[in-house]
Amino acid sequence: MVALRKGFTLMEIMVVMAIVSTLFAIAAPIFLQVNRQFVMVLTRLELQQEARGVMYIMTRALRQAQRDTIVISRANTSQPFYSKIMFTKEQSTSTYVATTMAFQQERTVLYQLIGGTDKRVLSRNLNYLAFTFPRSDDMGLISVSVTLQKSTYEGKKNTLHVASEKVRVMN
């Protein structure tokens, strides 16, 4: 009568461990790369959504600006030139109401200032902001350029440049 063996031999366990170790050695870098790509794609999508929202708010307000009140400057000397725009916006009510509005960069934050008292954060991922007049003979056309940047993994950053958009001032 033959006795039935229970368990595994040491050699069988070592072979299985070698196979599993080889699989993990091959799969770990692949999983790490897939995770990095996922984070990069997710960051790019977040920046694209944020950039579209910011550009929508700025272009909508600029279209309603009064042409002769537009002033392009900078918030302070540590900011780049052309990183602030101020203007008066006419409200659509039965009586004439004008509101002063500004968009400006302060370090990596994009602010919208309304009436001098209300300061709203539009983005905390701002890398570059510029307002310019693309034509010197037409002050009713403003070029808006925005670059957003966000940290991803291991100290790396993902940058998205929203191409300059030309805005026609309607008033």
- Structure-block tokens of residue 73: 């400057």
Cα separation, 73 vs 53, whole angstroms: 23
54 within a domain of the structure (yes/no): yes
3 within a domain of the structure (yes/no): no
Look up the pTM and report it.
Answer: 0.74
4 within a domain of the structure (yes/no): no
**What local confidence, expressed as pLDDT, does residue 92 receive?**
62
Range of the domain at 149: 35-168
| Number of domains within the chain | 1
Q: How many CB atoms lie within 10 A of CB 101?
A: 22
16 within a domain of the structure (yes/no): no
Cα 38 versus chain centre, distance: 17
- Identify which has the larger pLDDT, 2 or 116: 116
pLDDT digits (tens, 9 = 90+) for 102-161: 999 988 899 999 987 889 999 999 988 989 888 777 778 888 988 898 887 777 777 776
Q: Which of 161, 133, 126, 168 is nearest to 145 (CA)?
A: 161
